[in-house]
């Protein structure tokens, strides 16, 4: 439908907690399509969350299948998630993350290695999936946006774990 402008830190919308989708109408389908279009247009993105395009509903899209890291592992392809919730976490790994809303920096963040996430898909069907590796990390990153967290909030030390992009 449309490529949307991605909000940049420190825009206040990026720190807000999003509202659950309670009324499923055409605007939800449009939001999901806008998220997909915005992610694809970025060229390098593996996910985008609704607050990044200034929509305060709990929706994200994730697709690691075209990323060099995602191609190395099994993944679910394009995930369109409404009201997603992580219901299980296992293991921990330290990973370097970046974000379209924080384009000048990357940072080391601790994430679960494996997760189980529950959500409604683009057809309003309840889904429960297991994800691991890069896909699990990408999902956790996007879901953080729904609760007003950026990867910057998860960096242990801004002095040693935050890096300017070259």
Please check whether residue 80 lies inside any domain of the structure: yes
Distance of CA 41 to CAs 1, 3, 47, 65, Å? 12, 7, 11, 16
Cα 66 from Cα 26, distance rounded (Å): 28
Other Cβ atoms less than 10 A from the Cβ of 15: the count is 15
Please check whether residue 149 lies inside any domain of the structure: yes
Cα 59 from Cα 80, distance rounded (Å): 8
Q: pLDDT (tens digit, 9 = 90+) per residue, 103-130?
A: 999 999 999 999 999 999 999 999 999 9
Backbone angles phi, psi at 155, to 5 degrees: -70, 130
Please check whether residue 1 lies inside any domain of the structure: no
Are the beta carbons of 32 and 62 closer than 8 angstroms? no
Please check whether residue 76 lies inside any domain of the structure: yes
Look at residue 69 in the predicted model and tell me its pLDDT: 80
- Please say whether the dihedral angle defined by the alpha carbons of residues 164, 149, 96 and 45, taken in this order, is positive or negative: negative
> What are the catalytic residues?
142
Q: Residue 52 gets which letter from DSSP?
A: G
Residues of the chain with pLDDT under 50: none
> In the chain, how many domains are there?
1
Look at residue 166 in the predicted model and tell me its pLDDT: 82
Please check whether residue 102 lies inside any domain of the structure: yes
Cα 95 from Cα 102, distance rounded (Å): 16
Residue 83: name the closest of 129, 118, 131 by CA: 118
What is the domain extent for residue 128?
12-164
Look at residue 1 in the predicted model and tell me its pLDDT: 64
pTM above 0.95, yes or no: yes
């Amino acid at each position: 439908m449309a490529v949307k402008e991605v909000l940049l830190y420190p825009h206040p919308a990026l720190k807000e907690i999003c509202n659950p989708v309670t009324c499923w109408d055409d605007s939800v389908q449009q939001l999901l399509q806008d998220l997909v279009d915005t992610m694809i247009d970025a060229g390098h993105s593996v996910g985008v969350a609704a607050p990044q395009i200034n929509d305060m509903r709990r929706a994200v899209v994730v697709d690691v299948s075209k990323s060099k890291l995602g191609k190395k592992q099994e993944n679910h392809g394009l995930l369109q998630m409404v009201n997603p919730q992580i219901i299980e976490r296992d293991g921990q790994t330290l990973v370097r993350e970046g974000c379209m809303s924080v384009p000048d920096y990357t940072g080391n963040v601790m994430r679960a290695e494996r997760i189980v996430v529950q959500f409604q898909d683009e057809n309003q069907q309840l889904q429960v999936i297991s994800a691991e590796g890069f896909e699990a990390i990408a999902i956790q990153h996007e879901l953080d946006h729904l609760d007003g967290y950026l990867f910057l909030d998860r960096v242990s030390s801004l002095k040693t774990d935050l890096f300017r992009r070259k």
